[in-house]
Amino acid sequence: MKKSMKMAAVAVAVSMGLSLSACAGGSDAPKSGDTTASSSAAPSSLTVWAWDAKFNVYSMQEAGTIYQKTHPGFTLNIVETPWADLQTKLSAIAQSGQLDQLPDIFLMQNNAYQKNVTNYPDLFADFGDSGVDFNQYPESVVGFSTVEGRHYGLPFDNATAVAAYRTDILEQAGFTIDDFTDLTWAEFMAKGREVLAKTGKPLLSGLAGDSDTIALMLRSAGGSLFDKDGKPTIVNNDILREVIAEYKEMVSAGVFLEVNSRDEYAKSFVTGQVAAVIQGCWVLGTLQSAEDQAGKWDLTNVPKLNNIASATNYASNGGSSWAVSSTGNYELATDFLKSTFAGSMELYDTILPGAGALAYWMPAGKSSVYSQPQPFFSGDKIYSKIVDFSQKVPNNNPGAYFYEAREAISAAMTKMLNGTDVASALQEAQDTVEFAMH
């Protein structure tokens, strides 16, 4: 989930007696996916690296509290580590070979999995015979952390895309939320022009020079910037070209407002400057900070691409999963994760109202907590709806060089909006990614 990240790493002790423990680095864990090793010492403590105290760290604390109920003496040491620092640490550990410096469990951005597991295979243990039922997670999100058929991540932070609309503004233009459900981007454009003409408000906003919306649109059709062999497919990519055409039309028509900072982006929809937001569901926390707009929002699925056979009305953008290290307390780590993040309705019923932490674990979507009507969103049962959406997101190949490709596409999009022809801009983007890969 994209949330503010504190830059100082601090150790957080889990409540209810879960005390700080020594650093991870036990020798009982298997390497390179071997899940048969065990420890006669029966370790009872785990060290975890994760970012965002109010979201990921809080959720891990609650998981620790729940696990302790059936495992007296269990302790958990959570070290709050911003994502950028965590990635730097993993790279340094891999390059130095000091694998005993790894924690038992660490959080990993979904789009970073392929590159990290491929480049640093000695850091990760796969879930092997852990007992985790990956069929209880959407296939599309499991795919992010699956390498050569092995699972290296347990999905946690739900980043399923939603389209949220100001229903009062739509009403001024003669529309309801149903008019923006199960539609194409062409239909979205046509209605967006009407909303703009009748209310003076664009439907959407986004950060200039950023490819968030482009990545979301691409993913909704199962599109990728790489082929199955990991080679860039930016130049001759029909889905990408359709995305670019739709995006350019929205910007030129004024239906999509480009802004210059993330603060401006958030301000655009919490102050009513635009009538909608299409983003990963992590955006809902920011939306609900506008308390004066309670009851004026509702959400539905996202538009789908035109003339693309694989197009759907479902996508995702972001998200993260829990990884188990190759040198940590493997048996304890996997049992802990299986019993909590992959098995506890109580956990998800606690962290949803406590931190807005929305599950990818499909059974949670059937709980009474997830099924509660949400007054802010016109009484809609949005959380069970989002879990349902998550199961319909098509599979996607992010590629090991996802972030390099994303940056290249962002730069190309800026040039295309300023007049550079599409073919030239895409060729330059592909050349940039190919250079980064060598």
Supply the pLDDT for residue 224.
Answer: 96
Residue from 25, 29, 16, 30 nearest 76 by CA: 16
Tokens of 361: 């674990």
Question: In what helix (H) or strand (E) does residue 257 lie, and over which residues does it extend?
Answer: strand 256-259
First to last CA, the chain: 31
CA distance 410 to 434: 16
Task: Mark the ranges of the chain whose per-residue pLDDT is less than 50.
Answer: 1-41
3-state secondary structure of 217: helix
> What value does the CA radius of gyration of the chain take, rounded to a whole number of Å?
22
Tokens of 396: 């996607």
Range(s) of the chain covered by CATH 3.40.190.10: 10-159+319-366, 161-315+397-436
Strands (E), 7-114: 10-13, 45-50, 75-80, 105-109
**402: Cα within 13 Å, side-chain hemisphere:** 23
The torsion angle over the Cα atoms of residues 217, 219, 224 and 228, rounded to 10 degrees, is -160
A 10 A CB-CB count for 378 gives: 17
Supply the pLDDT for residue 438.
Answer: 87
A 10 A CB-CB count for 366 gives: 11
What phi-psi label fits residue 333: left (phi over 0), alpha (psi between -120 and 50 degrees) or beta? alpha
Supply the pLDDT for residue 42.
Answer: 57
Supply the pLDDT for residue 129.
Answer: 84
What's the CATH class of domain 161-315+397-436? alpha beta
Q: Do the Cβ atoms of 87 and 120 come closer than 8 Å?
A: no
pLDDT tens, position by position, 68-89: 999 999 999 999 999 999 999 9
Q: Do the Cβ atoms of 319 and 141 come closer than 8 Å?
A: yes
Q: Do the Cβ atoms of 192 and 203 come closer than 8 Å?
A: yes
DSSP string for 371-408 = TS-BGGGTTB-HHHHHHHHHTTPPP----TTHHHHHHH
Residue type, 174: G
Q: Does the domain made of 10-159+319-366 have the CATH classification 3.40.350.10?
A: no
Q: Where are the alpha helices (DSSP H) in 271-321?
A: 284-287
